[in-house]
Amino acid sequence: MNPWAEDFPILKETINGKRLVYLDNAATTQKPVPVLKAVDDYYRKANANPHRGLYALSVEATQKYEDARRTVKKFIGARKDEEVLFTRNASESLNLVAYSYGLTFLKEGDEIALPVSEHHSNLVPWQMVAQAKGAKLVYLYPDAQGRLTDAEIGAKITAKTKIVALAHVSNVLGSIYPVKKIVEKAHSVGAVVVLDCAQSIPHYPVNVTELGCDFMAFSGHKMLAPMGIGVLYGKEELLNRMPPFLRGGEMIEYVHEQSATFAPLPQKFEAGTQNVGGAIGLDAAIHYLRNVGYDRIQKTENELLNYTLDGLAEIPHVTVYGGTDNRANRCGVISFNVEGVHPHDVATVLDAAGVAIRAGHHCAQPLMEYLCVNSTCRASLYFYNTKDDIDVFLAALRKVRGWLGLGA
Ligand X SMILES: Cc1ncc(COP(=O)(O)O)c(C=O)c1O
Which residues are designated catalytic?
363
Going by DSSP bridges, is the β-strand pair 161-167/111-115 parallel, antiparallel, or unpaired?
parallel
238 vs 232: CA distance, rounded Å:
13
Going from the C-alpha of 301 to that of each of 19, 98, 279, 391, the distances in angstroms are: 21, 33, 27, 15
Taking CB under 6 A as the binding criterion, the range among 118-126, 292-300, 312-320, 375-383 that sits at the site for ligand X is 118-126
The residue from 91, 175, 308, 337 that contacts ligand X (CB under 6 A) is 91
The residue from 43, 348, 369, 388 that contacts other proteins (CB under 8 A) is 348
79 vs 237: CA distance, rounded Å:
12
Interface map 131-160 toward ligand X (x if CB under 6 A): ------------------------------
Taking CB under 5 A as the binding criterion, the range among 7-15, 103-111, 338-346, 385-393 that sits at the site for Zn ion is 338-346
C-beta neighbour count of 397 within 10 angstroms: 24
Taking CB under 8 A as the binding criterion, the range among 56-64, 170-178, 283-291, 339-347 that sits at the site for other proteins is 339-347
Residue 171's binding partner among ligand X, Zn ion, other proteins, none (Cβ under 5 to 8 angstroms by kind) is ligand X
**Among the listed residues 121, 174, 125, 167, the one whose alpha carbon sits nearest the alpha carbon of residue 145:** 174
Nearer to other proteins, 327 or 361 (CB): 361
By the rule CB under 6 A, 198 interacts with ligand X: yes
By the rule CB under 6 A, 199 interacts with ligand X: yes
Cis peptide before 266 (omega within 30 of 0): yes
Interface map 379-408 toward other proteins (x if CB under 8 A): ------------------------xxxx--
Nearer to Zn ion, 194 or 346 (CB): 346
Nearer to other proteins, 223 or 341 (CB): 341
Query: Helix axis angle, 343-352 relative to 387-398, nearest 10°?
Result: 120
The residue from 171, 274, 376, 386 that contacts ligand X (CB under 6 A) is 171
Interface map 10-29 toward other proteins (x if CB under 8 A): ------x-------------
By the rule CB under 8 A, 319 interacts with other proteins: no
Residue 192 — φ and ψ, nearest 5°?
-95, 155
The residue from 26, 349, 364, 379 that contacts other proteins (CB under 8 A) is 349
Q: Are 118 and 165 in contact (CB under 8 A)?
A: yes
DSSP notation for 71-109: HHHHHHT-S-GGGEEEESSHHHHHHHIIIIIIHHH--TT
Going from the C-alpha of 312 to that of each of 54, 56, 143, 284, 350, the distances in angstroms are: 60, 57, 21, 36, 15
Angle ∠(101,105,109) on CA atoms, nearest 5: 125
Can you say whether the dihedral through the CA atoms of 36, 37, 43, 46 is positive or negative?
Answer: negative
The residue from 196, 214, 301, 389 that contacts ligand X (CB under 6 A) is 196
Q: Are 192 and 215 in contact (CB under 8 A)?
A: yes
By the rule CB under 8 A, 3 interacts with other proteins: no
Q: Please state the closest distance from residue 88 (CB atom) to ligand X, in A.
A: 7
Q: Are 368 and 375 in contact (CB under 8 A)?
A: yes
By the rule CB under 8 A, 360 interacts with other proteins: yes
By the rule CB under 8 A, 144 interacts with other proteins: no
In the region spanning residues 195 to 254, those forming contacts with Zn ion, defined by CB under 5 A, are none
Q: Please state the closest distance from residue 406 (CB atom) to other proteins, in A.
A: 7
Q: Are 209 and 78 in contact (CB under 8 A)?
A: yes
Residues of this chain that bind ligand X (CB under 6 A): 26, 89-91, 119, 121-122, 167, 171, 196, 198-199, 219, 363
Contact positions toward other proteins, by CB under 8 A?
16, 340-345, 348-349, 352, 360-361, 374-375, 403-406
